[in-house]
Amino acid sequence: MSTMDKLILHCDLNNFFATASLTQHPDLADGPVAVAGDPEKRHGIILAKNMPAKIKGVKTAEPIWKAMQKCPDLVLLKPDYALYVQYSERVKEIYYRYTGNIEPFGIDEAWLDISEHGKDIAFGTKTAHAIREAVKKETGLTVSIGVSFSKVFAKLGSDYKKPDAVTTISRENYQSLIWPLPVGELLCVGYATAKKLSKIAITTIGELACASPEVLKHLLGKNGLMLKDFANGVDDSAVKAVDHAFGFKGIGNSMTTVRDLVCDDDVKIAFLMLAEMVSARMREKEVCAGCITIYLRDNSLQYISRQKTLETPTFVSDEIADISMALFRQHWQIEGRPIRSIGIRASEFMPIYHTAQVCFFEREDIRKKQNLEFAKDRINQKFGKNTVVRATFMDDSAPKEQHDNALHDVHPLSFFRG
């Protein structure tokens, strides 16, 4: 993999609406089932179907009456959007164990950029299988995941094999794996574009990849050149974590350290680094958190997540670090279980100037801490990022993140919209 490449996963929950609905009707799982617009009146369209229905020819977006002709024993269920959002949130929590940089693509798909943990394609495949197994075990859903060096090829990978599968598209195999596919499989090639391309004898992704740039530009304008790039895996677009102002669900950051964390002091410094980043982002958004979650993963990729709901919401980095350390000490024995990756997530937000009651004896201490945080922000804004840093971060023996240039990039958690 090129040093300029990213390591991207695209996760696509299989038959999501139908599978999520069947978690409430497990007795129906072995027969043909579809989620439809209005099952009682038998009009509307098929929104999703399970595998037995698909085998009998039922298709998404076809009229209910047509689906019933193909499959008279088809069971129709009403859509339950609250349930779908709930499952999206549960799956998102699993994704966040591996990265905070998550870009949703509809309610059931998402790109994950795990480049912060390394760019080895084999590591990406291993991570994808870990996610796939966790989703199945913890939610009952299945997910297909594409692993690649670009977003467009990762998306092709998740579509390549379904359900419950991982497909890796690398620099070494993409021509043999991807180029024979129909051109319509490529992201941004819709029916109309595929029809135009077929008129100049371009029917596969490989033929598009090798086509004349001049011909493509004449036929499709600048989009033709973009599609040629896509067919060759040239896609430098970044995975963009969604941060809707006060519609976001969480703000978090995780890091993989250069060396394993082997003692409480190592973990404390790492939590302080993460707490600084998360608290700074919260102050930018003028929110404080009512819940803190930690994520810990050891060097054999076994992980836990634990959370604490707070009586008094906070944006103070010291408090966030202290809460994280308390959770760590309660749920993890560092001896014999070194930590490779570590993360903090803040959630359950409220406005930063809230009116929550604070104990009289704690008020002065809390105000001093809050004022100190705002003072740090003002100094860093005036004189440059990281003008004020904790002395403990300057120690050469302190734990460091694998990619220092990304150390202070806070990745807010994605929010799957219904």
Q: Which of the residues are catalytic?
A: 109
Question: Nearest to residue 107, comparing CAs of 95, 131, 130, 89?
Answer: 89
Q: The tokens of 242 are what?
A: 């969604």
Say if residue 338 is preceded by a cis peptide, omega within 30 of 0: no
Burial category of 207 from C-beta neighbours within 10 Å (exposed 0-12, middle 13-18, buried 19 and up):
middle
Virtual torsion, Cα 248, 250, 251, 252, nearest 10 deg: -150
Number of H helices, E strands in the chain: 14, 13
The answer to whether the beta carbons of residues 247 and 415 sit under 8 Å apart is yes
Q: Render the burial of 280-317: b for 16+ CB within 10 Å, e for the rest.
A: bbbbebebbbbbbbbbbbbeeeebebbeeebeebbbbb
Query: CA Rg, the chain, in Å?
Result: 24
Helix (H) or strand (E) holding 342: strand 339-351
Contacting residues for 343 by C-beta, under 8 A, at least 6 apart: 96, 97, 100, 252, 253, 254, 255, 274, 294, 295, 296
Q: How far apart are CA 398 and CA 306, in angstroms?
A: 24
SS3 105: coil
DSSP of 56-83: TT--TTSBHHHHHHH-TT-EEE---HHH
Q: In what order do the strands lie in the sheet with 287-298?
A: 303-314, 287-298, 339-351, 250-261, 411-412
Contact 307, 293 (CB under 8 A): yes
Q: Which helix (H) or strand (E) holds 199?
A: none
Gap between the Cα atoms of 386 and 394, Å rounded: 11
- The answer for residues whose C-beta is within 8 angstroms of residue 409's C-beta and 6 or more apart is none
Angle between the N-to-C axes of helices 317-331 and 264-285, in degrees from 0 to 180, rounded to the nearest 10 = 140
Residue 155, CA atoms < 13 Å, CB-side half-sphere: 21
